[in-house]
Structure 1
Amino acid sequence: MILYQALSSYQILECIIHRQVFYRDKQAVLLLGNYINERMPWYQELESRGFFDQIFLFRFGGYKGTEEEILGQIEKEYQKTIPYAPEEFEKLLIAGIHTYLQVWLISKEISFEMFEDGSGALSRPWVLADIHKKSSPARYGLIEKYHLYDHKSPWITRKYYDEKAQLPGFQDEKAQDFQVLENFLRLSPEIQENIRRLFRLPSKKGDCAQVLLLTQQFANLGQLTLDEQKGIYQHVFDYYLRGKQVLIKPHPDDILYYPRLFPHCEVLKEPFPSELLPFVFEKLPEILSTVSSTGVNQIRREFSDTLIFNGLYEQTFHWDGSYYTALGLGAYLGAEGILCRGANKVQLENLAKIHWPENKKLKISQNREELTGKVLCIQDDFEECQESRKEPENGEDIWKLEDELLGVLYLNSRKNYRMYQPGEKEKFFQMVPVSIREGSSAHTLYFYPAREEVRKMAERFISSQSQEDTSVPVSIEELTDSQIQIRMLEGILAATEKRLTEYIKTEKELRRELELVTQRKQFQ
């Protein structure tokens, strides 16, 4: 007898297909969270349609206390829920291993096989770990202790994953490729139709939309507040999807009210796995779009084009206006390359793709050696982000580009004021402030031109763009000479305050370290 566990609609699909491929002739039971009553009230069809022999509902949440107390509660819950001891199963196949139940299994030295949490997740263990660390630190600590986030527990004997979606060079001797969509297509037409009916797949005919947008449950997971989740999708529509016919496919656990936010869009209300989307449409929308959903990994090849962001965009979406302005300046200056430093490269690429599609030669890179022709350097404040750490580092002096360098545009998103150091007032005043406004918010970018003629071009750009651009929410304000002087002095003041705060913090840390060293020396 086989035990499967699934926590989401995608994982249910995964378990169904896995059983059909590997254990169709063996008795198999499925363990679901008791919240399935709200998400999929017809879950008993998993049994009545013959996908599993028995269904059990387990309470995965609500446990408190010490590690010993929690494990005791889990054991009692297991005994109350499932009439079979774990040892009675030939195999345990777990989708969604980051639970106290798997901690309990490992504490009992019971081995199991796992499915990665989402397509591509096996090589990116920090993604879910960071979410849980933020939303539930105590729970995170216990699960991390048993190596369930990094998948390194010796009691995990096999790891089913989507090989095509992993980071380049990723290897794991326990990993086995399992392509959900490909295996679905190998099932008989009868079983495929049975799965379609189980998940209540709708049927869309004709050209129903240009863009299919997959959302994520950012607020539900604590990644963003509800207002921030609203903001990120508002930005996606304002800067990337304006004027396009969009069909929204919400994540099954997404709590945002899309029909009210975007009344001009159709919303797919059925909570089915996005991996089944190709079977919903008579003709697929042209573009598949998402912020960072793993649900696109197995279906993106089915679409003509994609508009996909990354996890970093969850932080940087606020500055779409700055990024748009930066690319506009680059286009005006005739840049053929954008040297991206501490900025979200994917965000820049997506904006360029949407707003400057005719500029096929423009290349955006974090490595200056990949760029030819005139280059604009865009500097921002996000080097510490996970994605940035994974990207190639390049500490070379950008000014070695000599005549090819147009200048450096400091976006200053986090107001780190990298462009100013104490005593460099004269250099700072050589910069051109680019004042932008988005709604009631104003922000200043600082452009350091490489040559005087570039400065004049930048000033003409500001003047030419000061007329309101209705295609995007951001606008550029043309400043008078006195306003420019005030803006620069305000920048120096803010930068000085920033540096002073950093110096004070560093001094306190050094004094504490000195005190500790002195105390240790006294006791020797």
Structure 2
Amino acid sequence: MGDTKYNLMLYLILFPKEIDNTFYIVGDELEDNLKDFKCLYLKEKKFKIRILNKLYRIFSNYEAKYFFRKNKFETLPIYGLDHWIWNGYEKKYHEIFLIEDGTRNYNLEKEIKRFKNQSLGEKLRWKLYCKKPSFGLSDRVKKIYLTGIGEIPKEIEKKVEIINLYEKWNLLTEEEKNRIRKIFKVTEIDMENIENCDGILITQPLSEDGVLTEKEKIEIYGNILKNYRDKKILIKPHPREKTDYKKYFPHCEIIKGKFPFELILLNGKKLKKLITIFSTGVLIGKENIGIDFYGTEINEKIYKSFGSMEHIYKRNSYINKK
């Protein structure tokens, strides 16, 4: 259960024998990947009027209860996220096996504070919405699969299993690897061109998530690219991005395809350099590849939204102000 391609990729790598035995409850952006499987596609709704969001949460829990009973799924465990649609229902009735979904799994301060500092009214509302803390803090979460890109919070460390993606990938048969490549359409990518470049800029959905305007995002990436004027740099957009980078940076080649960047690294491609603001997609290759990590400090709005990423990777690159 989840709505990100990265989370889905981890599930497929961890449990290749269960791919055909799984019922996928996912966001509609994964429809193109899972159209050959048993799926239910959900889209989270957000309203401008606060009370409507609360009513929607209550309705969603009843909707989930009806769906699981109708399909006789009440006793099945859930793998994926615990902070998405239907999370109130799933954390009340199901065992959950949490799978990493980025840096939020390593910084639980906000979630802990939100749960502990509740007024009586908030406690009653949480009970009404069937809400429990997320990111592995609920007692319904039995195990948490993390790649270890950051320090494990002590509140969840007993539940955590650290996974080495390279080791897990290499344990797969060639048939299983090809199946995952096919699901994400990685087979259509020109891997030779990727290996011959001087570096890859890994972008992030900062405008799509409302952190920056598209103009601000493009300005930041434009300033970063000025540091590599004499280099052959490819751009790998995030799967959720809608920005047409070719329009803004015609001199750069764009890696097409909405797949997690980690799949390029797992396929054994030798790359010279990875460039990012703070994408964790570069980190599984940090032992063998040069990484230019600009950090959230590159922009006040980004820093305000995400805080420092020093606990994940030390900032080592800066925009040239000249």
Secondary structure, in 3 states, of the residue corresponding to 1:277? Answer: helix
CA distance in 2, matches of 1:154, 1:77: 20
1:251 aligns with 2:215: no
1:60 aligns with 2:44: yes
TM-score between both structures, scaled by the size of structure 1: 0.50
| Per-residue deviation, 1:290 | 0.9
| Per-residue deviation, 1:83 | 4.3
| Per-residue deviation, 1:126 | 5.7
TM-score between both structures, scaled by the size of structure 2: 0.77
**Match in the other structure for 1:124:** 107
**Match in the other structure for 1:294:** 280
CA distance in 1, matches of 2:107, 2:302: 22
Is the contact made by 1:246 and 1:265 (CA closer than 8 Å) also made in structure 2?
A: yes
Map Cα deviations across residues 346-395 of structure 1 (whole Å, 9 max, x no partner).
Answer: 66x424xx9xxxxxxxxxxxxxxxxxxxxxxxxxxxxxxxxxxxxxxxxx
Map 1:203-242; keep pairs closer than 5 Å: 203-205=190-192, 208-238=196-226, 240-242=227-229
CA distance in 1, matches of 2:212, 2:85: 25
Structure (1/2) with the larger strand percentage: 1
Matching residue within 158, 172, 176 for 2:143: 158
| Per-residue deviation, 1:192 | 0.8
**Match in the other structure for 1:73:** 60
Judged with a 3 Å threshold, the aligned counterparts in structure 2 of structure 1 residues 66 and 223 are, in CA distance, closer, same or farther, namely closer
**Match in the other structure for 1:268:** 255
Cα RMSD for the two superposed structures: 3.4
Is the contact made by 2:64 and 2:86 (CA closer than 8 Å) also made in structure 1?
A: no
Secondary structure, in 3 states, of the residue corresponding to 2:247? Answer: helix
**Match in the other structure for 1:43:** 34
Read off the aligned partner of 2:296 and give its amino acid letter. G
Judged with a 3 Å threshold, the aligned counterparts in structure 2 of structure 1 residues 293 and 264 are, in CA distance, closer, same or farther, namely same
Number of equivalences: 292
| Per-residue deviation, 1:217 | 0.5
Is the contact made by 2:198 and 2:232 (CA closer than 8 Å) also made in structure 1?
A: yes
Q: Which has the larger radius of gyration?
A: 1
**Match in the other structure for 1:277:** 264
| Per-residue deviation, 1:68 | 5.8
| Per-residue deviation, 1:113 | 1.6
Secondary structure, in 3 states, of the residue corresponding to 2:94? Answer: coil
Q: Which segments of 5 or more consecutive residues in structure 2 lack a partner in the other structure?
A: 113-124, 304-312
**Match in the other structure for 1:167:** 151
Read off the aligned partner of 2:213 and give its amino acid letter. T
Larger RCO, structures 1/2 (Cα 8 Å, 6+ apart): 2
Judged with a 3 Å threshold, the aligned counterparts in structure 2 of structure 1 residues 78 and 297 are, in CA distance, closer, same or farther, namely farther
Q: Which segments of 5 or more consecutive residues in structure 1 lack a partner in the other structure?
A: 48-53, 130-140, 319-344, 355-471, 475-524
Map 1:311-326; keep pairs closer than 5 Å: 311-315=296-300
Map Cα deviations across residues 188-227 of structure 1 (whole Å, 9 max, x no partner).
Answer: 0111112212211113216531011111001111222222
Matching residue within 110, 121, 128 for 2:94: 110
Q: Percent identity between the aligned chains? A: 19
**Match in the other structure for 1:425:** none
Matching residue within 119, 123, 132 for 1:146: 132
Matching residue within 3, 8, 11 for 2:4: 8
**Match in the other structure for 2:317:** 350
Judged with a 3 Å threshold, the aligned counterparts in structure 2 of structure 1 residues 144 and 473 are, in CA distance, closer, same or farther, namely farther
